Amino acid sequence: MRVLYFIPRYHPATGGAGVWARELLKYVAREHDVAVVAQWREDTHDYVRATTVLAPQAPYDDVDDGIPVHVIAPRPPYRGWLADLSRIYDRCRLIRPLFYALYRATLLPQLTAHVAGYDLVHAVHIGLIYSAEIALAAARLHHLPFVFTPFPHQGGWGGQRFRRLYRMSDAVIAMTTTEKEWLIARGADPLKVHVVGGGPVLAATGDGNRFRECYHLTGPIILFIGQRLKHKGYTELLAAMPAVWTRHPDAHLVFIGPMTPEAQPIFAEATRDPRVTDLGIVDTQTKTDALDASSMLCVPSTQESFGLVYVEAWSLGKPVIAAHTDVTQNVVDAGVDGLLVPQTPADIAAGIMRLLDSPDRAAEMGRHGRLKAESYYGWESIGSQMTAIYTATL
C-alpha cells in the first residue's frame, strides 16, 4: 500500500498535530510506502503568511529519516498576488474567495502531481482549511480514498467548509470518543469516524539527575511542555506560582516549547525570578530527561484535541494537571492519574500544591498513568489501527 500524507506544517516545526502525524507515518512506513507533502517547516501560527509571504521561494524535495518530503509553494505570478492579499486577509473577508481561488490554482496542480501513483491520501489539518480542501480535490482527481484528521479545537472547525470535508471523507480520525461524537454531530458518517489516539514521542530512557545537574535545579519541578499560546494556560500557570511558593518556596517552574511574539515580554519578566526557567525548543532526549526529573506535568490548556504531552508524562510515571474540558475528561482520569482543574490561577495553584503536599499520592497517580500509557497508547497499536482503517477504505 502506498500512502501520501499531506501535513501542511511539518518537521522540524513543532506542534502536537505534526508530531502525531510524523510518528504515525514512521510506523506505517515499516510495512508500506509513504511520503509527505508539506507547505512550511518553521514554527509560526500566522498560517496565511506561512503559506504565502513566508513560504519557500520554490517547491523542493527533501528526506526526513528516510521518508520523502515534497514541499509545495506558490509560484509566480500567484505568489505575488497572494502576498498582496495576505496583507488584508484578516480585516477584509470579501477578498477571501479570490485568495482561495489563487491558492488553489497554484497549489492544487503541484499536490495532484505528487498524488499520482499512491493508493490513498491522508490529510492532517494544520493551518488553513484551504489546504485540506485541495488535498480532498487532489485525491478525487485520482479517484483515491481521502482520510482526514481534523484535530478540532474548541470554538472552531464546525463551519460549512469543515462539515463538507467531514461528509466527503472516506475516513475521519478522532482522538477521543468526545471528538468522535462532535464530528458525527457535524455531519461525519458514524461508520467512518474512528478513534485512534496518540502515543508518546520520547527517548529510550530519561535521566532526571542529568537534567537537574545541567540546569542547577534542586527542588520540586513543575513542568510545562507546549507552545506559548494563550489557550495553553501559561499565563495562568505563571500567575499561580506565587501562591505555590508561599508553601513550597523551593519549587521550580520549567517551560519547554516554542516561544511566540506575544509571550516574549511575559517571559522576559517572569524569568527574572530564578525559579522560572524557559528552555524553549529542546531535543527529544532533553524533553525525556525533563519529564523524568519533574514532580508533575502541568499544561492547563483549554483547547486540546488529545494532549500527547499527558501520555508522555505518564510514560515516565508522572502525574498531570490539565484544564477540565470535554476532551481532557476523556483522557485524564481525575484523581487517578492526574487532576482536572479550571483554568484559573487559584485552581491551578491548588492542584499543584495538592500534588506537592502529598508526594506518595502523586507517585501513585504517576504509576496509574504509566500503566495506562503502556496499555492504551503504544505506537505499534496505533499504527496497526491506522493501517486497518486505510485498508478498509480501498
Q: Are residues 248 and 356 in the same domain?
A: yes
Together in a domain, 123 and 162: yes
DSSP 218: -
Question: Do 270 and 360 belong together in one domain?
Answer: yes
Claim to verify: residue 288 and residue 309 sit in the same structural domain: yes
SS3 content of the chain, % helix, strand, coil (to 5): 45, 15, 35
Note whether 48 and 152 are same-domain residues: yes
Q: Which three cell numbers mark 72?
A: 509545495
CA pair distance 165, 149, nearest whole angstrom: 10
Q: Looking at the domain assignment, is residue 305 inside a domain?
A: yes
With respect to residue 270, please indicate whether it lies within any of the assigned structural domains: yes
Q: Which of 251, 294, 327 is nearest to 16 (CA)?
A: 327
Q: Same structural domain for residues 246 and 312?
A: yes
**Which residues does 357 contact at the CB level (< 8 Å), separation at least 6?**
247
67-71 and 60-64 strand pairing: antiparallel
Q: Please state whether the predicted TM-score (pTM) of the whole model is above 0.85.
A: yes
Residue of 357, 352, 362, 356 lying closest to 241 (CA atoms): 352
| Residue 203 forms part of a structural domain | no
> Is 178 a domain residue?
yes
In a domain, 222, yes or no: yes
Tens of pLDDT along the chain (394 residues)? 999 999 999 999 988 899 999 999 999 999 999 999 999 999 887 999 999 999 999 999 999 999 999 999 999 999 999 999 999 999 999 999 999 999 999 999 999 999 999 999 999 999 999 999 999 999 999 999 999 999 997 667 889 999 999 999 999 999 989 899 999 999 999 999 999 988 999 999 999 999 999 999 999 999 999 999 999 999 999 999 999 999 999 999 999 999 999 999 999 999 999 999 999 999 999 999 999 999 999 999 998 878 889 999 999 999 999 999 988 998 999 999 999 999 999 999 999 999 999 999 999 999 999 999 998 898 998 999 999 999 999 9
Does residue 82 sit in the same domain as residue 221?
no
Same domain, yes or no, for 192 and 221?
A: no
Q: 129: buried, middle or exposed (CB in 10 Å: 19+, 13-18, 0-12)?
A: middle
| Distance (Å, whole) CA 137 – CA 175 | 24
Strands in 33-38's sheet, in edge-to-edge order, are 60-64, 67-71, 33-38, 2-6, 120-124, 146-149, 171-174, 193-195
- Give the residue numbers spanning the domain of 339: 208-376
- Do residues 159 and 93 make contact, with C-beta atoms less than 8 angstroms apart? no
Cis peptide upstream of residue 77 (ω within 30 degrees of 0) = yes
Q: Are residues 294 and 385 in the same domain?
A: no
Domain count, the chain: 2
Whole-angstrom distance, CA of residue 349 vs CA of residue 341:
10
User: Residue 214: inside a domain, yes or no?
Assistant: yes
For the chain, the maximum distance between any two Cα atoms, rounded to a whole number of angstroms, is 64
Domain identity same for 360 and 387:
no
Q: Is residue 187 part of a domain?
A: yes
Sign of the alpha-carbon dihedral angle for 303, 304, 309, 312: positive
CATH code, domain carrying 27: 3.40.50.2000
Is residue 122 domain-shared with residue 218, that is, in the same domain? no
Residues 388 and 296 both lie in one domain = no
Residue with cell 505568489: 79
